[in-house]
A and B are shown apart, each in its own frame.
Chain A
């Protein structure tokens, strides 16, 4: 049953995502420059008509900071998922098309990465290579590689038995050609769904890393670091902790809603209306 709830969810998710995209894009222009200027006279102001989200300890507009933070957070998350996708999908296709040793090696490597609790690899990288946006992208990206590789491999394997693939093999096409011309188009939708979910996980991971100081470094604003800076001021200026967190949670919610709506749509079992 694709019940009304999910369709509503899809709508909410899409609207929210458009808002984020608008925020991220608008932060590229100069509309927030005034809000980002340090103005100690108007520090720690509660939300008002002039400052919808209030101001921070240096008198900067929290809405402007959240908007610019959107770009940072989404940027890192998108880059990480893209990296995972670009490495993971070919690996998964290769494993499915080749089988044998390549397949086994990939499976073991995946096990290895999954053995690291999600943020741990990032912490380790930051410890050895120093924190920063690049470290965050690599660390989160590495975690995404086996996710995509496994997804693609699993689905491509069942495709390998299908007639059109058999036909292509009989026709003598190369493994790479089969993988990209026949397997890839058939797993593309699944990849998009998974990427949506991974994106929401990546946003949380980036925020977590930035929160503990191992992600994006100052002066680039990021939601996670804003939350960290808000903590000591939480008693006097709770809005500092509220709005970046809300931005974070809503972004994750939007991606989850869109992701699960797409998954439901694609899943024949739930489409059929069971249970």
Chain B
């Protein structure tokens, strides 16, 4: 009895040692300096900024991959770009640009005047999809003066030409590579394109041959994090290093007090609109549009959707511009006036409409509030959440919508109201005439007057309901510098961005070393050690029988996982690539991952690879899954062990104290607490702990993991609250089981004998009752390992820890089935293996079980 249990104790440390050895084996995040990962809420539809008006495209390539003749500074001024200098004729009709010497495209070809002419001709050509095509209409001819000099000839002055040339839509491409610009951009910028993993990330790297001051970051990854609610966790967990525009305003206040991050709030050129289809009844009636404007409470939207960030606007113009006119009082919030207008327009009982919302958080959240506000005046709103591609197709291109919400982030984009066929369905000759006059006018005071007239007309005609100017909520790690506070144009230029000192960071680190074999080795070591430790206690037949069960269970689990992952979604390749993928891309992926052979063959191949410790190649990260897992294990494994230790450390004394005087007050109290504690879900407990210890007491950070490179102290500190949340409910279960078993053991004769021999109640309890109570407790501890692992995957989300659980959920969200498959199998294997070891331990603890193999 007690003898056996002491032997069991001897193999337990051995097991712990092996598990800790796993930590040493697994590669840690290499101290990869000068790499950053920035979060993007939307994925670019393509990477050619001259062909699309999507902001996400500009975010990635503007100023990084591509450059224009001029560039726009953070203050919104025009500065020299690829053109070193320029001269303008007195009549404003001729612009001569002197190009820089020694500029090369990323493919090595030098930049010449011919490239400039070709790029601008391409942008203004008849079939061009360039959003600025109309603005280039006055451009009559482009002359090549010499190799590095180009002259633009206009038929009438264009006052803002130098600004336009600095925008992302008019960057200079090389004719040789322009056809592939949508997927593989080649420009002249400080960074060059590496790869675009659809649905996941766009990667850029330093251009060593840059003509200007070289960039200081080695590699920049723009990671697509579509879910606004996970943005904060992504930041805390170090999955991303920052957001140029953080999509969760509710989290900004907390980040401002977090020393790990810099919060930099500026403004964008984004006028956020409740856009109206002016061409479609009943919205072609001015009174209906005005009713909408009166019914919408901007302040409530800014509070409710933006948490107070963002300035209300009354027309299509940014408040930080000198020419801005405050027209927010033109249609104040007045539901009574709105209802009166509706009655007048012939809708006394309101009507029904559809509000189509694109994915950005401001649209989705404002939409919910606006729907409630319109309901107050009798308009029944049906909200339709659509994807970005659908929005571009249905709303923007086909003008099939009633209302939508979108931020127009292009600067100086009041010209869109004069564009024929634009999706607002608005057309006004007066507006067009005023706009044309503005384009001809270079006198500053006349320009201001014209600009104010334009703003007033849009407000009077109530083309759209103008909501607020989109703020730029910059949030990034404190040691990252050189990102823009303001966003005078679309784009996230990173030419001047840099990191302090040698900064190793999980998000930026990449692991190149393959560690797949580690797992196989680890499993073998555990197995051998267990076998050696048990050799004298367990018969070979028993061991063999158990091993066969183990193997069968593992095989069955692998089959089940395979069926769910490879067979259930139909075509996993198409599933992983999403709706917008082309047929050929899906076919390529299918071939790459061996998904083009029959399912049974895929399964066998997977098993064969598994035998080598090869879990496959992650679809999104493009690194071996085994490496990803090994890296994440350095968080998850210590967390589970920490929690297990805490759980035992809490439960054992509690059970002993309670069992010493059965039925007394202390017993009832402790077991009552355990009963209540049992009911507390660990993730809620985690939230409460964060509230108490991070928000109020500031003893711990609210989440995140600093890594082990700074020593064990900070890492364990970061794991303490998560471990406590995991351990407490488990400790309650363990305490109850132990208490019950101790109670039974205390009633046995041998304990009574021991007491009669003169042992104190403590001695009897600890020496005689406890070892016997440990047998069932061992089962619970074994089972708890499984619960701890499963619980840990949720707790990691609560505390934003970069462990296996987060990897699993991320992979699920990114539909990286390869990673999901590998992680699940590994977790299952861990559970099965632990159960196997626990069963072998029984045999050590309880000699009666050695040969029968019962239980």
Contacts and interface: CB of A to CB of B under 8 A. Distances in A.
A245 interface: yes
Contacts of B786: 117-118
**B interface SS class:** helix
B787 A120 contact: no
B668 A112 contact: no
A184 to B, nearest CB: 28
A120 B668 contact: no
B811 A275 contact: no
Contact of B681 (A58, A124, A245): A245
A80 interface: no
Given A211-B794, A235-B253, A274-B747, A252 B687 contact: no
Nearest to A1: B663
B680 A249 contact: yes
Contacts of A103: none
B557 A116 contact: yes
A37 B372 contact: yes
A241 interface: yes
B832 interface: yes
B688 interface: yes
A126 B820 CA distance: 11
Interface residues of A, number: 61
Interface string A87-128: 000000000000000000000100110011111100111111
Contact of B684 (A126, A127, A128, A248): A248
Contacts of A39: 372
A227 B725 CA distance: 15
Interface string B662-701: 1100001000100110111101100110110001000000
A222 interface: no
B556 A241 contact: no
Interface in B789-841: 789-790, 793-794, 797-798, 808-809, 811-813, 815, 817, 820, 824, 827-828, 831-832, 835
Contact of B569 (A111, A129, A260): A129
Interface in A29-75: 37-41, 43, 57-59
Contact of A40 (B300, B557, B676, B812): B300
Contact of A108 (B251, B552, B746, B809): B552
A59 B820 contact: no
B304 A230 contact: no
> Which of A37, A230, A245 has the most B CB atoms < 10 Å from its CB?
A245
A37 B817 CA distance: 39
Contacts of A230: 687
A40 B568 contact: no
B369 A275 contact: no
B794 A124 contact: no
A5 B672 contact: yes
A233 B250 contact: yes
B304 A40 contact: yes
A127 B812 contact: yes
Interface residues of B, number: 73
B170 interface: no
Contact of A275 (B232, B688, B747, B790): B747
Given A241-B691, A253-B676, A213 B304 contact: no
Nearest to B568: A128
Contacts of A111: 549, 553, 556
Contacts of B115: none
Nearest to B302: A40
Nearest to A4: B668
A115 B553 contact: yes
B787 A256 contact: no
Contacts of B301: 40
Interface in B441-460: none
Contacts of B766: none
Nearest to A228: B229
A128 B790 contact: no
A85 interface: no
Given A232-B248, A236-B253, A252 B681 contact: yes
A249 B680 CA distance: 5
A123 B808 contact: yes
B166 interface: no
A249 B786 CA distance: 22
Interface in A225-254: 227-236, 238, 241-242, 245, 248-250, 252-253
B794 A115 contact: no
Contact of A9 (B253, B675, B687, B817): B675
Contacts of A118: 786-787, 790
B665 to A, nearest CB: 11
A212 B556 CA distance: 27
Contacts of B345: none
A41 B553 contact: no
A140 to B, nearest CB: 13
Given A115-B831, A211-B797, A234-B687, A40 B297 contact: yes
Interface string B762-784: 00000000000000000000000
B564 interface: yes
B790 A120 contact: yes
A238 B561 contact: no
A196 interface: no
B794 A212 contact: yes
Interface stretch (A159-167, A185-193, A200-208): A200-208
B824 A123 contact: yes
A43 B304 CA distance: 7
B811 A127 contact: yes
A257 interface: yes
Contact of B557 (A1, A112, A231): A112
Given A5-B668, A111-B549, A57 B304 contact: yes
A207 B681 contact: yes
B679 A229 contact: no
Interface in B377-430: none
Contacts of B153: none
B681 A204 contact: yes
Contacts of A127: 565, 811-812, 815, 817, 820
A136 interface: no
A24 interface: no
B592 interface: no
A245 B679 contact: no
Given A234-B687, A245-B681, A249-B679, A117 B565 contact: no
Contacts of B681: 204, 207-208, 245, 248-249, 252
A178 interface: no
B565 A38 contact: no
Given A43-B304, A111-B553, A213-B227, A124 B683 contact: no
Given A39-B372, A117-B789, A120-B828, A275 B253 contact: no
Contacts of B135: none
Contacts of B794: 119, 208, 211-212
A3 B304 CA distance: 52
26 contacts: A40-B301, A40-B304, A41-B300, A43-B303, A57-B304, A108-B552, A115-B556, A115-B828, A116-B557, A119-B790, A124-B820, A124-B824, A127-B817, A127-B820, A128-B564, A128-B820, A208-B794, A232-B254, A234-B691, A235-B691, A245-B688, A249-B680, A249-B684, A250-B679, A256-B679, A275-B743
Interface of B: 227, 229-230, 232, 248, 250-251, 253-254, 297, 300-301, 303-304, 368-369, 371-372, 549, 552-554, 556-557, 560-561, 564-565, 568-569, 662-663, 668, 672, 675-676, 678-681, 683-684, 687-688, 690-691, 695, 743-744, 746-747, 786-787, 789-790, 793-794, 797-798, 808-809, 811-813, 815, 817, 820, 824, 827-828, 831-832, 835
Interface of A: 1, 3, 5, 9, 37-41, 43, 57-59, 108, 111-112, 115-120, 123-129, 200, 204, 207-208, 211-214, 227-236, 238, 241-242, 245, 248-250, 252-253, 256-257, 260, 274-275
